[in-house]
Amino acid sequence: MFLTRFLINRTRPATQKMLGSPYCLHAAVAGSFPTEEPSHKASIRPLWRLDIEPTGSAWLYIVSQTEPSLVGLDEQIGFPDQPPTWQTRHYDPFLNSLNEGQLWSFRLVANPVRAVRKQPRSSDERGKRLGHTTATQQLAWLIGQAAYPPDSDSEIRKQFPPPVKSKAASNGFAIPIDESDCPRVMVSNRHTHQLSRSVIQRTASPFPQSVSTGFYVSLTPNYSVQP
């Protein structure tokens, strides 16, 4: 695994388009890796996050199984007339240092969605992806029933019933609870991106072109590592 940090030049003409459209930036990141066989796509798909600091600096972080080539991205939104400004490091040493019981803080930028099927869950129908629009829904998407009190409305309990394993639990961590029995996580920067089909088609992305709306949210939790 590799972790890459890329400094974005906010004065370039293409930068505003990239910063304003997660889909365009997603396509640009995907284009920074060699094309693989379809059977391997799911295992090599990179994760990325855009951070804009209070000073105005913009950084792109990428976690991937192979080392990216950011020459093309540098020509679009970087500093092509300067020596390469991005840095790539091996990520495995950090991952291997994680142990059960450790406490960490991190920031997650996610697009919390759910699949809605017209037919019963047992059918082969691929559900339509809909975004979780409320802060409670988005928090429950990450930590499950811990995000809402037992007397919550029936709709959210129906979407996130207690037996369902949360995203956090599925990925081997838990969110601590504070003295007020509230999860130590904050939801912020909630916003919606609308993407027309014409915009999606112009990106020439190798990924499916069915997403028209994205609900993006930043979640900043403390978490403890589980076995």
CATH of the domain at 157: 3.30.70
Same domain membership, residue 160 and residue 75 = no
pTM exceeds 0.85: no
Mean pLDDT for all residues in the chain:
75
Query: Among the three residues 96, 118, 149, which one is the final residue of a domain in this structure?
Result: 96
Query: Bigger pLDDT: 120 or 135?
Result: 135
pLDDT tens, 43-82? 568 889 888 888 889 999 999 999 999 999 999 999 999 9
107 and 83 within one domain: no
Cα gap 186→166, rounded to integer Å: 17
Question: Taking a C-beta distance cutoff of 8 angstroms, is the pair 100, 226 a contact?
Answer: yes
What's the pLDDT tens digit per position in 148-202? 766 666 666 666 666 567 788 888 888 888 887 788 887 877 777 665 554 444 4
Sign of CA dihedral 135, 188, 106, 41: positive
Taking the CB of residue 24, how many other CB atoms lie within 10 A of it?
A: 19
